[in-house]
A = this chain, B = another copy of it.
Amino acid sequence: MSVYYREVANEVDLFTRCYEQQLPLLIKGPTGCGKSQLVAHMAEKLKRPLVKVACNEDTSSADLLGRFLIKGNETVWQDGPVTRAVREGAILYLDEVAEAREDVIVALHPLTDHRRELYVDRTNEELVAPAGFMCVASFNPGYQRGFKELKPSTRQRFVTLSLSYPMPELETEILHRVTEVDLKTCQRLVELGNKIRGQRHLELKETVSTRLLVHAARLFKSGMSLRQACLFGVGQCLSDDVQVLEGLKDLIHLSM
């Protein structure tokens, strides 16, 4: 099944050039703005296999590079996703790379500069990435967790693309294409999303993603009233604060 993707800026062009020039790419942007979809779309377009790694602070380098497993009475080596990506010349997607422990990131340094090498210490193997291999990472600077920033020595290995939410017409079209809900309703949902995005005084940790609008559209499509669909699919998902929730509820009642 082909991934539906609609370009926001000229990110497809930049991605393609980085691929051709063998430069690693960092995609920064808020939750649900389409970072993962872009990568899935590009893998399809460039006809490369895609290997995704959801980075988190408990992933060890063994999880990424591989480990020995005991099978029957033999020890067999099993490649981790990164090693697999290098062998296959895949697009390696490190989702939320800033969440990873530094040892994991540092182990990937030789892979992300001119060397394009991966050293798998446990098997004492040094792999050179084939031409088709590309390393892409994403991170969300909006969390503002200062202690989870990338070190400059990591950051400066990547060409950087900054993504944000799509413009209204585009977001409406995306909503319509993904959910098959009528264009008029999709437009009203996008309007609601942008109204909430404009309410800076609500001090939401993160604002309405396209994903939330998709959820509301789907609930509506299943027969729920639009107002209820927005309450359960958008409002309740943005805060636990009673007063903020009241504000969101009012906004939804006025709009729907």
Contacts and interface: CB of A to CB of B under 8 A. Distances in A.
A159 interface: yes
A152 B31 contact: yes
Interface stretch (A167-175, A184-192, A216-224): A216-224
Say which size band chain A's interface belongs to.
35 or more
B102 A57 contact: yes
Interface in A50-84: 52, 54-61, 63, 68-75, 78-81, 84
A155 interface: yes
A54 B166 CA distance: 38
A206 B152 contact: yes
Given A17-B224, A206-B152, A23 B113 contact: no
Contact of A237 (B155, B221, B236): B155
B240 A21 contact: no
Interface in A64-108: 68-75, 78-81, 84, 95-96, 99, 101-103, 106-107
A110 interface: yes
Chain copies in the assembled complex: 6
A215 interface: yes
Contact of A219 (B21, B69, B101, B233): B21
A174 B152 CA distance: 21
A232 B156 contact: no
A5 interface: no
A121 B80 contact: yes
B54 A109 contact: yes
B121 A221 contact: no
5 shortest A-B CB distances, which residue pairs?
A152-B206, A58-B103, A141-B240, A160-B236, A56-B103
Given A14-B219, A56-B102, 4 more contacts: A14-B224, A21-B218, A159-B233, A160-B232
